[in-house]
A and B are shown apart, each in its own frame.
Chain A
Amino acid sequence: MSEHALPRRAPRPKPLAHPNGWWGMALFLGSEAVLFGALLATYYYLRFKAVHWPPLGTPEPKVVLPLVLTAILVTTSVPMQLALRAAQEGRLAATRLLLAVALAVQATYFGLQIHLFLGDLAKFSPGDHAYESIYFTLVGAHHTHVAVGLLLDVWLLLRLSTGLTRYRLTGLWATTFFWHFVNGLAVLVVLTQVSPAL
């Protein structure tokens, strides 16, 4: 695990291609896209087969609050992208500030969503019917991805506290990509989640 002691080299020109880490994240997101595709397809498959959806006795989903929260989450793509731009230009302080802003909003979103999730669980349970099962699985999977994104943000802030390197820039690039994906997916998930009440 020892770091090699290497002679200092001249600064390298900016490469043309995206870094390996970006490509790795892109492919991982491709896999997650299919994962969510399978969850969404399951939702609609079970819905096509049902006469009542939600089943009789289950309350319809709330519409306004989930949509508003999702809109707030989607806006965090802006500070994330700006943070990436700042990092690519070498402006570390701006990077850290924008990342912290994004993290604060994302964490607030997450906290509120968990509160709503637990509230839903108190009212209807996955053990009742396929509707509840796929509802909680789909929404829970989305929240899990948000949680992972929060961890990535925290990790980046920790690493960036000691400076900006090419490696950490790639990490930020990949994380920003991750958040754009999660935010886009959040729209699909929330529209599906509230669709019976629309």
Chain B
Amino acid sequence: MATTEVLGLRARERIGRLDRIWEERPGLVGWLTTVDHKRIGILYFFTTLAFFGAGGVEALLMRTQLARPDDHVLGPSRYDQLMTMHGVTMIFLFVIPMTIGAFGNYLVPLMLGARDMAFPRLNALSYWLFLGSGCLIYASVFLNMAPDAGWFDYVPLALKRYDTGLNIDFYALGLIFNGISSTVAAINFVVTIFKLRAPGMSLNRMPLFVFAILAVSLSLIFALPALTVDCVFLELQRRLGFHFFDVGHGGSALLWQHLFWFFGHPEVYIIVLPAFGIATSIIPTFAKHRMIAFPLVAMAELLVAFIGFGVWAHHMFATGIPTATLVFFAAASMMVVIPSTIQIYAWTVTVMMGKPEFKAPLLFIGGFITFFVIGGLSGIMFAAIPFDQATTDTYFVVAHFHFIIFGAAVFPILGGMYYWFPKVSGRLYHEPVAKASFWLTFLGTALTFFPMHIVGLLGMPRRVYTYQSGLGWDAYNLSETIGAFILTAGLLLIFGNLVWSRFRGPPAGPDPFYGGTLEWATTSPPPHYNFAVIPTVTSPYPNWDRDDRAEDARKLEAGELVLEEGHETPASTVRDGYLDEVLEMPSESWWPLTLGVFVTLLFVMLLLAHFVVAGIFGALCVLALGGWHAQEPAEA
């Protein structure tokens, strides 16, 4: 691409025009009104890191309490709040916004060869809604009213009778609010992936990371409404005396669980699929080999999400539901593991067939595969109903999902931070320290979560704030706590490395690792308009097609598909990526922030049960939507 070659005069003129058309306002105002997907990705990144820190502190406090038997660092009520907030924070305020809001937002348009997402203002709105929902939920912590019935908030414990304060209302309204942010983000991704691919990028030429984001986005769209309905039922029951969950008036406590897990199981694939996407981006680059069985890997990503919608009651094997009903969930749970297995084979064989260079990102993927295999094996064991019934609510379950969530979702995030750091910041991270940070984090993770398998099989239940001595659990708990602090040290080393490198690292150039996807075909960091010329695409690894990149340089000079007449990006047909039309995209706007503020205030008023004022904010939201849509693109 023309980044490294000498540019002709006309090419430089075109780039100058693009710079002027696409520049955003400087300073804070620029950030508040931005619709640039890269800036929104960066906003998401730092916000989710802050929540990661909060969730991590909650974890360390719990582990400190559990380090020794019969300890009273924290009382049971405080422990319940920490345990609940740790789960809610890590799942809703860290992992999902980090993978799709930060990584997805930043990378998807770049990988597709587009200039922005399909709905740039909606993208900004999803961020402000996320921030609002996170602040609402965390306000509960500062008011000492944090949700305290576990991250899955089972009834009847969560009903007004047993949880009288506003704690659970923060939970229910907070999650409905957070769900709106994720839903609009997911819709944006799907439309972008369907319509805004560079011409030539038919569906079979999409990068695997994009397939993963597509699977995640479709899952979010179809899973979140179940959680929303559940939380609406809960609020109607708590606030207005409706009867959904109490048996005495014809309700059912299991209704909460069915709706929750109908969302909750796809949710765990939503957590792990972007990590698969990151792994399938890092492996070909450092193995210097295309992904083996590419169509199967792409399909496996969609399949695991799809079948994942049919397994939800495997979280309810111990509730007394007739076996004649549970058996179908057991069957589907056994099948759902197969697509993931296909992916593991493909990843390992690709590394074996290539000439792997074990830089830090690939090390993190190695750690990811290790933890994913172990976590996946313990997971498949739960498909057997009798085994599940024996280990439900023990630390064996906690071990399984932390191996998956931390080992299989967070490790690729950490590897991805190193991998794309040069692209986002324009500088290289310090490689030896990065490798050390991997080993420290790996050791900490193994030491924290592996003993949980054993202590769970020895009978230690989940969600207890303390335990008696003499049950054989003491040494394991102590080593888990030590592991947690080692893990924290590893994470701090990673962040320290990135912060230091941001200011003192050597310049990275556009493509330090010889990556195959299009984000490496532009400058580091990319300009606001991503690509001076819309790239020519003939394979899923466009940056390895050097003749196509040379064609781009020619097109830039000749002015073909430079689209410099306005804030423009091309739209293509959905299946085969033929150029269809040129779209005029919105530029900076105050509407997303404005609507975000109104929605936040609406939810605050609902929380405080000021329904009339809430209605007024609802009306303001409608008016803001009107103002938003009154701005139209220039007509031909």
Contact = CB atoms under 8 A, between A and B. Distances in A.
Interface of A: 1, 3-4, 6-12, 15-17, 20, 23-24, 27-28, 30-32, 34-35, 37-39, 42, 45-46, 49-50, 55, 126-134, 137, 151, 155, 159, 165-168, 171
B225 A35 contact: yes
A45 B243 CA distance: 14
Nearest to B572: A17
Interface stretch (B394-402, B413-421, B532-540, B580-588): B580-588
Interface in B568-617: 571-574, 578, 580-584, 587-590
B236 interface: yes
Secondary structure call for the A interface: helix
Interface in B173-222: 183, 186-188, 190-191, 194-195, 221-222
B255 A39 contact: no
Nearest to A27: B187
A166 B183 CA distance: 26
A151 B583 contact: no
A30 B217 CA distance: 12
B481 to A, nearest CB: 40
A4 B566 contact: yes
Interface stretch (B74-82, B100-108, B626-634): B626-634
Interface string B160-175: 0000000000000000
B190 A23 contact: yes
A31 B183 contact: yes
Given A20-B195, A38-B225, A165 B571 contact: no
29 contacts: A1-B588, A1-B590, A6-B565, A7-B565, A10-B636, A16-B580, A17-B573, A20-B118, A20-B571, A23-B194, A23-B195, A27-B186, A30-B221, A31-B183, A38-B225, A38-B230, A42-B244, A45-B252, A46-B252, A126-B236, A126-B241, A127-B242, A130-B249, A130-B250, A130-B252, A134-B244, A155-B626, A165-B632, A167-B635
B243 A20 contact: no
B626 A133 contact: no
A131 to B, nearest CB: 6
Contact of A12 (B566, B590, B629, B636): B636
B255 A45 contact: yes
A154 B572 CA distance: 32
A130 B321 CA distance: 20
B143 interface: no
Given A17-B195, A45-B252, A45-B255, 14 more contacts: A1-B589, A1-B631, A12-B582, A24-B191, A35-B228, A46-B255, A127-B241, A129-B249, A129-B250, A130-B250, A137-B233, A165-B632, A166-B635, A168-B632
B518 interface: no
A192 B575 CA distance: 38
Contacts of A39: 229
B427 to A, nearest CB: 34
A136 to B, nearest CB: 8
A16 B573 contact: yes
B190 A27 contact: yes
A155 B573 contact: no
B262 A133 contact: no
Contact of A20 (B21, B119, B242, B589): B119
Given A1-B590, A17-B195, A38 B222 contact: no
Closest 7 pairs between A and B when the two form their complex, measured CB to CB: A130-B250, A35-B225, A133-B242, A38-B229, A34-B225, A127-B241, A15-B581
A50 B247 CA distance: 10
B255 A17 contact: no
A141 to B, nearest CB: 9
Contacts of A46: 244, 250-252, 255
Contacts of A34: 221-223, 225-226
Contacts of B249: 128-130
A39 B357 CA distance: 52
B629 A171 contact: yes
B598 to A, nearest CB: 16
Contacts of B224: 31
A42 B574 contact: no
B404 interface: no
B622 interface: yes
B252 A24 contact: no
A17 B571 contact: yes
A11 B636 CA distance: 6
Contacts of A171: 629
A6 B634 CA distance: 7
B112 interface: no
Contacts of B222: 30-31, 34
Contacts of B262: 38
A130 B241 CA distance: 11
A121 to B, nearest CB: 12
A133 B235 CA distance: 12
A151 B622 CA distance: 9
A159 to B, nearest CB: 8
Contacts of A165: 632, 635
Contacts of A126: 236, 240-243
Nearest to A14: B581
A17 B580 contact: yes
B576 to A, nearest CB: 10
